[in-house]
């Protein structure tokens, strides 16, 4: 198995490598010498796991819509990434607790075209499966092509170019099931028959899939109309999966929407094409029946996928969120793990009124060592930019269409380009997820702005319309550190300046930048000597980075960014 970094090296270097510009009329490159991230949450102190326990979530930060498959002793998991690139991270584990990212399934700019889509469009809810020495991911590129399948013999990649599935037009969330007789079926969310009866009225459909031809065949069969009880007007039945156990076909799906009413339901049938009968005890997973004022709440749980271990245990991965107040969270939807119990032939993940535990006893599997890049609990990491490529958990906004960065020799160099954070384009920005409610990101930057409008620094961004940018810039002919904010589409695409301070000293020396998140509040610091932090702005309302305010399905990224308006103006929003 290739290492995580090696798997990404040829892709990102080929897509995005640049030579530092020598022309003094062009903006200077922004050279970042290191990037540090760290965080911890109240729950990390409030609940401590025992030696045989693990922490929830198993993947903190923006890792939604988990899908899992087992191949022998190995488990593979994928998540949604929407319009972030590279897309669809692929993780590996042997104990279901410690996960290492081994690649990204969408890692070539020409596989999909995110164009100028919003950050919550693009790739939704991938589903991974394995059959006859081949790995499959079926997925939907929303507003960028529709439903498709990609394949690989090594889950670390390379993955094939998309093969489109036009029979699934209008649907999302496809999942591929291989039956014991070798037949293959795709189940997905799609429009109901006729005119929808209410907002959120959807249906689940089934169709044969030909693995050799990589296409759907035969008639489409309606499995579920609306949800487990159409009389109650259930909304957004989605994320379906089928598996077989003890002579039954089980169909699980999310229901209730992605907010606090989210849940997971199950139905079963003696034949794969139905009819499917719902479990009388549905939902099998939800947190909507708990008190809103409970400590360290976990909410909005659903979109589960089940897997059986070699020892016969059943476990579920699913998404949920951790608000810092009310329904405000900046970290996006995260991946959790819980055991599945079986009651009279039906699976259950949480009992009615049961809170998702922050710690739980580990699966009966040999424990692995902690991954090189932690995904759970309190942790700190530092990237020295001394490898051949960025780790695969780093990403940019949409596909790159030109080469604008280099990495190596202890620095990440960005070419400032006329693409702002609010331009609905591919700005010179590279980042990693905010994974804790209380977190810090910092960097050392060497950058000499040559004219008004040149700026480089550290960003906290949820999407094109909601972000903070702490930068070294030029203002009135002087070098300054400044903070800009965009808090909605009515703000200018390049943001609104809310604080600035002069930068004295050697312009060739590094400037240190730091952003600190404290739940709903964000603080911004700078230094001309390492460790000598000065506040530029404290207590900024970070709720603009929350899903509740910014909308969509993604989480906050901390990243490095460089911008210059010296050539063409930034594109207008479509």
Which residue out of 31, 44, 65, 440 is catalytically annotated? 65
Alpha-carbon gap, residue 240 to 401, rounded angstroms: 35
Q: Tell me: domain 4-38+378-563, CATH 2.60.120.200, correct?
A: yes
Cα gap 360→354, rounded to integer Å? 13
Q: Which CATH number among 3.40.50.10860, 3.60.15.10, 3.40.50.970, 2.115.10.20 corresponds to the domain 60-361?
A: 2.115.10.20
Portions of the chain given CATH number 2.115.10.20? 60-361
In whole angstroms, how far apart are CA 218 and each of 27, 209, 210? 58, 8, 10
The residues with which 423 forms a beta bridge, in sequence order, are none
**Cis before 44? omega within 30:** no
Pick the catalytic residue from 173, 238, 255, 455.
Answer: 238
Contact assessment for residue 48 and residue 321, using Cβ atoms and an 8 Å cutoff: no
Contact 544, 432 (CB under 8 A): no
> Is 210 assigned a catalytic role?
no
Provide the token pair at 327. 């329904």
Question: What are the pLDDT tens digits along the chain (574 aa)?
Answer: 333 333 434 444 334 333 333 344 556 899 999 999 999 999 888 898 999 999 999 999 999 999 999 999 999 999 999 999 999 999 999 999 999 999 999 999 999 999 999 999 999 999 999 999 999 999 999 999 999 999 999 999 999 999 999 999 999 999 999 999 999 999 999 999 999 999 999 999 999 999 999 999 999 999 999 999 999 999 999 999 999 999 999 999 999 999 999 999 999 999 999 999 999 999 999 999 999 999 999 999 999 999 999 999 999 999 999 999 999 999 999 999 999 999 999 999 999 999 999 999 999 999 999 999 999 999 999 999 999 899 999 999 999 999 999 998 899 999 999 999 999 999 999 999 999 999 999 999 999 999 999 999 999 999 999 999 999 999 989 999 999 999 999 999 999 999 999 998 899 999 999 999 999 999 999 999 999 999 999 999 999 999 999 999 999 999 999 999 875 443 333 3
Q: Which residues lie below 8 Å from residue 293, measured CB to CB, with a gap of 6+?
A: none
- Per the annotation, the verdict on 497 as an active-site residue is no
* Tokens encoding 233: 């007007």
Stated pTM of the model: 0.93
DSSP of 470-511:
EEEEEETTEEEEEEEEEESTTS-TT-EEEEEEE--S-TTS-E
Q: Where in the chain is the domain with CATH 2.60.120.200?
A: 4-38+378-563
Identify the CA nearest to 240 among candidates 197, 194, 207, 199. Answer: 207
């Amino acid at each position: 198995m290739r290492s995580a970094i090696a798997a990404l090296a040829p892709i990102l270097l080929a897509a995005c490598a640049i030579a530092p510009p020598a022309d003094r009329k062009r903006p200077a490159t922004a050279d970042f010498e290191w990037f540090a991230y760290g965080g911890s949450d109240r729950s990390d102190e409030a609940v401590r796991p025992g030696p045989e326990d693990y922490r929830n979530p198993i993947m903190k930060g923006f890792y939604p819509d988990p899908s899992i498959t087992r191949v022998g002793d190995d488990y593979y998991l994928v998540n949604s990434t929407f319009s972030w690139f590279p897309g669809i991270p692929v993780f590996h584990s042997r104990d279901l607790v410690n996960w290492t990212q081994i690649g990204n399934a969408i890692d070539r700019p020409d596989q999909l075209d995110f164009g100028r889509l919003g950050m919550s469009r693009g790739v939704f809810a991938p589903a991974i499966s394995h059959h006859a020495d081949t790995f499959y991911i079926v997925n939907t590129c929303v507003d960028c092509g529709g439903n498709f399948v990609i394949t690989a013999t090594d889950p670390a990649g390379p993955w094939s170019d998309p093969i489109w599935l036009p029979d699934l037009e209008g649907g999302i969330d496809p999942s591929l099931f291989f039956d014991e007789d070798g037949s293959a079926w795709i189940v997905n969310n799609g429009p109901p028959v006729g005119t929808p009866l209410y907002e959120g009225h959807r249906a689940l459909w089934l169709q044969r899939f030909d693995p050799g031809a990589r296409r759907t065949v035969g008639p489409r069969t309606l499995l579920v109309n609306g949800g487990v009880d159409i009389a109650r007007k259930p909304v957004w039945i989605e994320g379906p999966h089928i598996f077989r156990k003890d002579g039954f076909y089980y169909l699980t799906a999310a229901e209730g929407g992605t907010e606090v009413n989210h849940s997971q339901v199950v139905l079963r049938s003696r034949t794969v094409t139905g009819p499917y009968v719902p479990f009388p005890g549905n939902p099998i997973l939800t947190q909507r029946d708990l008190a809103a004022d409970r400590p360290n709440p976990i909410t909005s749980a659903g979109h589960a996928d089940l897997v059986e271990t070699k020892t016969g245990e059943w476990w579920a991965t699913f998404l949920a969120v951790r608000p810092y107040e009310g329904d405000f969270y900046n970290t996006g939807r995260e991946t959790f793990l819980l055991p599945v119990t079986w009651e009279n032939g039906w699976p259950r993940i949480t009992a009615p009124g049961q809170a998702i535990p922050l710690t739980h006893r580990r699966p009966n599997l040999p424990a692995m060592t902690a991954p090189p890049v932690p995904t759970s609990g309190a942790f700190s990491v530092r990237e020295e930019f001394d490898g051949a490529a960025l780790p695969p958990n780093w990403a940019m906004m949409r596909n790159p269409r030109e080469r604008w960065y280099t990495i190596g020799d202890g620095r990440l160099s960005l070419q400032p380009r006329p693409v702002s954070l609010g331009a609905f384009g591919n700005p010179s920005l590279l980042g990693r997820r905010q994974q804790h409610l209380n977190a810090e990101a910092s960097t050392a930057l060497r950058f000499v702005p040559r004219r008004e409008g040149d700026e480089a620094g550290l960003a906290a961004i949820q999407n094109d319309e909601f972000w903070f940018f702490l930068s070294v810039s030029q203002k009135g002919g002087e070098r300054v550190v400044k903070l800009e904010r965009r808090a909605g589409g009515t703000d200018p695409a390049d943001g609104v300046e809310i604080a600035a301070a002069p930068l004295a000293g050697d312009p060739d020396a590094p400037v240190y930048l730091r952003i600190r998140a404290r739940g709903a509040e964000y603080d911004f610091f700078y230094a001309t000597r390492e460790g000598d932090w000065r506040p530029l702005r404290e207590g900024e309302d970070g709720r603009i980075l929350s899903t509740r305010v910014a909308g969509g399905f993604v989480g906050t990224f901390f990243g490095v960014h460089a911008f210059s308006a010296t050539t063409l103006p930034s594109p207008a929003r479509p």
